[in-house]
């Protein structure tokens, strides 16, 4: 009896910690959901055990269908972790090598004799190609962008670009003779036990699929977003999944069900600061953190995993703009019992075209460029990798990105705009060069 009592006493702190995490996480997310700033599912697991999971908001508001823990969300660039794993499996099978040149698999591809498979995986290829809503498959995209010049010499620097992963999926199909959706299902999803995960395609029917929404800044009401055909970009951003399937993914990675120890360690080793081979890799307060984020019309996704501590945080959202970056940081703080606060709702102020014009220019850091311009009375930023986002004014020199919860501040020197600071997974500053 004494032994049983001791075991129960030892278990109390663990149960109390789990309850505390669940209460704090639910309080945070409920507040945002009530403010119409969050809709989606969140899961937190420690040592493989779920300490918190809950669904918020609507999967289909028009038909009063609520999100539940089986709801499937589009997950955008989380796809890249799975494409990377597929390529690393082909490396293990000696069907491809990281040092192989693209020209070996795509004869005639410009600069293909300089760009390696590793360059594609690590976004260091210099390729300028972008996704196209008019292309129906990867082969069409390769044909479309064969004439694009390089932005920089392969391996010279990091510049995130979806086309790297579109090309990787195309190469995997060519090597195996199997379509990318079938290939990643057979070799990755099935091995991990992810039965509610797949590659989206036009016309896919599922009673569990969430629809994408956006919050109208003028009316404060949510509106449906029609999603684009992403079949051509399947290797870069066409994933749909559930929070529980992503927990299975974390376990499969840790238990080396899908990759050998050597291949896994290669994949999560940074090639350039912050990014490995299909994985975002950071040291968060001396804790190794791996995972990926994703964004696609009406959806945001975040997969955060701490391998050493065996902690997983999964965030799937079907309402834009969410407070995704703040939610990620707050949930991490909650799990590690660190201070956090609620993000206040950012209020937009209107600036004239002349007032916006002072912020235009080209900004650069470590070879990466951001271009700020005015169009139709609105301020836009062209980010490294080719993505364009609208900037909304919050105060003098302070803006936020319309979409992901990212803050932007223009820095002055002698009264003139000298740099731009972007707060996303930590701050990064671009100096004005033009």
pLDDT tens column, 282-326: 988 889 999 999 989 899 999 999 999 999 999 999 998 766 678
Q: Which alpha helices (H) appear in 35-150, and where do they start and end?
A: 79-92, 117-121, 138-144
Strands (E), 238-348: 239-241, 280-284, 287-296, 299-306, 311-317, 319-320
What single-letter DSSP state applies at residue 127? Answer: B
For strands 361-365 and 427-432, give the pairing: antiparallel
Q: What is the pLDDT of residues 35-91, one digit of tens each?
A: 888 999 999 999 999 999 999 999 999 999 999 999 999 999 999 999 999 999 999
Tens-digit pLDDT profile for residues 78-114: 999 999 999 999 999 999 999 999 999 988 888 889 9
Residue ranges for the chain with pLDDT beneath 70: 1-16, 129-141, 145, 322-324, 343-346, 366-367, 385-387, 403-406, 423-427
Do 71-322 and 353-432 share a fold? no
pLDDT of residue 173: 94
CATH code of the domain occupying 71-322 = 3.40.710.10
CB 48 within 8 A of CB 248: no
Terminal Cα-to-Cα distance of the chain (whole angstroms) = 76
Which pLDDT value is given to residue 132?
Answer: 57
Quick one: pLDDT at residue 9? 46
Task: Find the DSSP H helices in 107-147.
Answer: 117-121, 138-144
- CB-count exposure of residue 427 (10 Å: 0-12, 13-18, 19+): exposed
d(CA 399, CA 412): 14
* Short-list 261, 215, 174, CA closest to 61: 215
Residue range 353-432 forms a domain whose CATH class is mainly beta
Per-residue pLDDT at 424 = 55
pLDDT at residue 5, rounded to an integer? 53
Query: What are the extents of the domains in the chain?
Result: 71-322, 353-432
Residue with tokens 């190609």: 129
303: Cα separation from own chain's centroid: 8
What residues contact residue 330 under an 8 Å CB cut-off, 6+ apart? 28, 340, 341, 342, 343
**Contact present, 112 and 167 (Cβ < 8 Å):** no
- Give residue 400's pLDDT: 77
């Amino acid at each position: 009896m004494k032994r049983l009592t001791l075991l129960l006493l030892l278990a109390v702190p663990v149960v109390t910690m789990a309850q505390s995490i669940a209460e704090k996480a639910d309080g945070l997310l409920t507040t945002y959901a009530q403010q119409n700033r969050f809709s989606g599912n969140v899961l937190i697991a420690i040592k493989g055990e779920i300490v918190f999971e809950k669904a918020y908001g609507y999967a289909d508001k028009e038909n009063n269908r609520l999100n539940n823990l089986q709801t499937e969300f589009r997950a955008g660039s989380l796809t890249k972790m799975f494409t990377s794993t597929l390529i690393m499996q082909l490396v293990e099978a000696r069907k491809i090598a990281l040092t192989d040149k693209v020209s070996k698999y795509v004869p005639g591809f410009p600069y293909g004799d300089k760009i390696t498979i590793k360059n594609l995986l690590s976004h260091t290829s210099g390729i300028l190609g972008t996704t196209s809503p008019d292309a129906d498959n990867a082969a069409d995209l390769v044909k479309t962008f064969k004439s694009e010049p390089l932005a920089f010499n392969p391996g010279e620097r990091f510049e995130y670009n979806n086309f790297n992963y579109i090309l990787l999926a195309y190469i995997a199909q060519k090597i195996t003779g199997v379509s990318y959706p079938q290939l990643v299902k057979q070799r990755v999803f099935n091995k991990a036990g992810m039965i509610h995960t797949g590659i989206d395609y036009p016309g896919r029917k599922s009673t569990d699929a969430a629809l994408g929404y956006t919050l109208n800044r003028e009316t404060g009401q949510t509106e449906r977003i029609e999603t684009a055909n992403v079949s051509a970009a399947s290797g870069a951003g066409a994933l749909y999944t559930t929070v529980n399937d992503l927990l299975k993914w974390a376990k499969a990675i840790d238990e080396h069900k899908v990759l050998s120890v050597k291949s896994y360690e290669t994949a999560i080793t940074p090639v350039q600061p912050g990014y490995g081979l299909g994985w975002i890799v950071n040291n968060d307060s001396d804790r190794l953190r791996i995972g990926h984020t994703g964004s696609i019309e009406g959806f945001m996704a975040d997969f955060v995993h701490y391998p050493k501590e065996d902690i997983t945080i999964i965030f799937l959202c079907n309402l834009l703009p969410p407070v995704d970056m703040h939610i990620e940081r707050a949930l991490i703080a909650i799990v590690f019992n660190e201070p956090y606060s609620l993000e206040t709702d950012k209020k937009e102020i209107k600036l004239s075209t002349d007032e916006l014009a002072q912020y235009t220019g080209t900004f650069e850091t470590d070879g990466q460029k951001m271009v700020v311009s005015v169009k139709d009375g609105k301020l836009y930023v062209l980010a490294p990798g080719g993505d364009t986002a609208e900037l909304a004014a919050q105060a003098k020199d302070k803006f936020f990105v319309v979409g992901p919860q990212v803050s932007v501040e223009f820095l002055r020197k002698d009264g003139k705009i000298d740099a731009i600071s972007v707060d996303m997974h930590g701050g990064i500053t671009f100096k004005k060069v033009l």
